[in-house]
Amino acid sequence: MTAECPPVAIIMGSQSDWETMKNAADTLDALGVDYEARIVSAHRTPDRMYAFAKGARDEGFKVIIAGAGGAAHLPGMVASLTSLPVFGVPVQSKSMSGLDSLYSIVQMPAGIPVGTLAIGRAGAVNAALLAARVLAVYDDELADRLDDWITRQTASVGDYPVDEAP
């Protein structure tokens, strides 16, 4: 018996991207959405990337979150090889603070869509929330969990600023 494929694939170009992409994984955990995280590099493991992207729909994935930094071709290349929705997370690079990653991911030519998020942690969290919102279109229980998440976030915002511990 084969285990059921989780709905979300979180892929990244390098082990070094995990620190950022773990924020997407943690967010999906909080929402009770299953995922699988894999290292898939457009440049260092092009055959792995091709096999993953071509097979992702048949494997059972519904949404792909792809994080990469620098010359960040991974989200665009994967989007060119699958009809699944792809959300791209620009990982903050050392040399250009992630602007290189952002421009590499966001400037897709017409016809190959990548939903591009913010650089770094915010992008990873929001990619997970967007993936969950896509899945929640046909999943009322997940929609309820998303509503609860939003309610908790709202409740966590204080009315007045306080001094934080040094």
Per the annotation, binding residues for substrate are: 14, 17, 44
d(CA 30, CA 161): 26
Whose Cβ is closer to ligand RP5: residue 31's or residue 41's?
41
Q: Based on the shown chain and the rule CB under 6 A, indicate whether residue 120 belongs to the binding site for ligand RP5.
A: no
Q: Based on the shown chain and the rule CB under 6 A, indicate whether residue 97 belongs to the binding site for ligand RP5.
A: no
The residue within the footprint of ligand RP5, chosen from 25, 28, 68, 77 (CB under 6 A), is: 68
Q: Based on the shown chain and the rule CB under 6 A, indicate whether residue 41 belongs to the binding site for ligand RP5.
A: yes
Stretch that binds ligand RP5, among 47-55, 67-75, 105-113, 123-131 (CB under 6 A): 67-75
Whose Cβ is closer to ligand RP5: residue 5's or residue 45's?
45
Q: Based on the shown chain and the rule CB under 6 A, indicate whether residue 13 belongs to the binding site for ligand RP5.
A: yes
Cβ 153 to ligand RP5 shortest distance, Å: 28
Token reading at 97: 């603070």
Q: String of b and e for 144-164 (b: at least 16 CB within 10 Å)?
A: ebbeeeeeeeeeeeeeeeeee
d(CA 10, CA 70): 18
Residues contacting residue 109 through CB under 8 Å, at least 6 positions apart: none
Site for ligand RP5, rule CB under 6 A: 13-14, 16-17, 41, 43, 68-70, 91
